[in-house]
């Protein structure tokens, strides 16, 4: 994805319809992973992590200043991942930019050949390393999805100005699946369905969920999505990831939307400090294998930031072959 001296787009529109989109549209089980860019002025860390995943995943998310902490931009990281031979999904949050900057970033991604953009509202700055930063949130994720879809499908900016040529990326979003029935209840499950449907209406073509630990509950939710026809117009990928320490388990309980059933916590805690890493990775592989059998599910999204090197082994243990 190196630049051209005449300033032309580095990839054609047909090339931007990447492997990830083709796999989803063919109905094959897709695998994506997540890479957090470094806190440093270097692309090499992203390229190294992407290279370790090459041949095992269909695409990698490049996070956008995750946890509201300053890092290399998701756009720069997307370029690095593509150069390393792995298709990028550029995350874009509404937290730090107004509508002018957001639309500019979207155009820049298209011009550099980024084939997929995942849109999120983003964590508030108070949760990050610059707690006194001024939040922007000019748009939320629903609004930005509609803006991005109009840029692509109608060639129009929010101002009504024309975009020539228009972008061609595939658009994604995130959602929190329902947790344990006793905590979420019917109202919580209905709310999750409504949010997901609204994001599909706004233009999301794929959804990556928060961590899933209760496969039967998640499978029941997927049946509802299928019954409502949502899975026919929006591909769902279930979020998974290895819990490698007691500290990570405790931290995960504080993440909004992550629901950990008591049997999972008990299993990991029973493993003890010396074995929780291995048990967490085994659990993750078991979840991936179980989710691969859920009707209507398009794939899994593996979140193991800081442990990307472990992902190929997790997939192999789950019975998923290389791409």
Question: What tens digit of pLDDT does each residue of 68-87 get?
Answer: 899 999 999 999 999 999 99
Given a cut of 70, whether residue 180 has pLDDT beyond it is: no
60 vs 24: CA distance, rounded Å: 14
Given a cut of 90, whether residue 202 has pLDDT beyond it is: yes
Neighbour-count burial of 215, counting CB atoms closer than 10 A to its CB (0-12 exposed, 13-18 middle, 19+ buried):
middle
Tell me the pLDDT band of 187, cut-offs 50, 70 and 90: low
Tell me the pLDDT band of 178, cut-offs 50, 70 and 90: confident
Question: The tokens of 8 are what?
Answer: 């032309």
Please identify, in words, the CATH class of the domain defined by 20-317: alpha beta
| Cα atoms in the 13 Å half-sphere on the side-chain side of 95 | 23
**pLDDT-above-90 percentage for the chain:** 81
**Dihedral over alpha carbons 36, 39, 40, 44 (to 10 degrees):** -20
Given a cut of 70, whether residue 8 has pLDDT beyond it is: no
**pLDDT-above-70 percentage for the chain:** 91
312 vs 319: CA distance, rounded Å: 11
Terminal alpha carbon distance of the chain = 21
pLDDT in tens, 217-273: 999 999 999 999 999 999 999 999 999 999 999 888 878 778 889 999 999 999 999
pTM for the full predicted model: 0.90
* DSSP code for 91: E
Given a cut of 50, whether residue 162 has pLDDT beyond it is: yes
Question: The tokens of 216 are what?
Answer: 């039967």
Which of 10-24, 194-208, 269-283 has the least mean pLDDT?
10-24
């Amino acid at each position: 994805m190196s630049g051209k001296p005449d300033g032309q787009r580095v990839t054609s529109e047909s090339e931007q319809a990447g492997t990830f989109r083709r796999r989803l549209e063919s109905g094959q089980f897709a695998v994506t992973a997540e890479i957090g860019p470094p806190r440093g002025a270097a692309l090499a860390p992203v390229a190294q992590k992407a290279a370790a995943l090459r041949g095992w995943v269909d695409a990698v998310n490049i996070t956008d200043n995750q946890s509201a902490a300053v890092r290399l931009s998701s756009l720069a990281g997307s370029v690095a991942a593509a150069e390393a031979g792995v298709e990028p999904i550029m995350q874009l949050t509404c937290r730090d930019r107004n509508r002018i900057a957001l639309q500019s970033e979207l155009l820049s991604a298209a011009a550099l050949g980024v084939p997929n953009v995942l849109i999120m509202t983003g964590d508030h700055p108070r949760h990050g390393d610059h707690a006194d930063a001024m939040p922007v949130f000019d748009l939320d994720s629903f609004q930005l999805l509609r803006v991005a879809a109009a840029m692509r499908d109608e060639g129009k900016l929010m101002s009504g100005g024309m975009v020539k040529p228009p972008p061609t990326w595939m658009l994604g979003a995130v959602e929190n699946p329902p947790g344990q029935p006793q905590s979420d209840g019917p109202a919580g499950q209905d709310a999750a369905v409504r949010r997901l449907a609204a994001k599909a209406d706004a233009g999301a073509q794929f959804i990556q969920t928060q961590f899933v630990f209760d496969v039967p509950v998640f499978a029941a939710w997927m049946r509802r999505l299928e019954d409502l026809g949502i899975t026919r117009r929006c591909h769902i990928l279930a979020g998974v990831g290895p819990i490698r320490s007691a500290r990570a388990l405790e931290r995960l309980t504080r993440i909004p939307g992550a629901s950990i059933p008591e049997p999972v916590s008990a299993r990991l805690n029973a493993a003890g400090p010396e074995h929780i890493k291995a048990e967490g990775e085994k659990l993750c592989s078991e979840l991936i294998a179980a989710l691969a059998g859920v009707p209507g599910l398009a794939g899994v999204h593996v979140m193991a930031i800081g442990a990307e090197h472990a992902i190929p082994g997790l997939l192999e243990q789950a019975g998923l072959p290389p791409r």
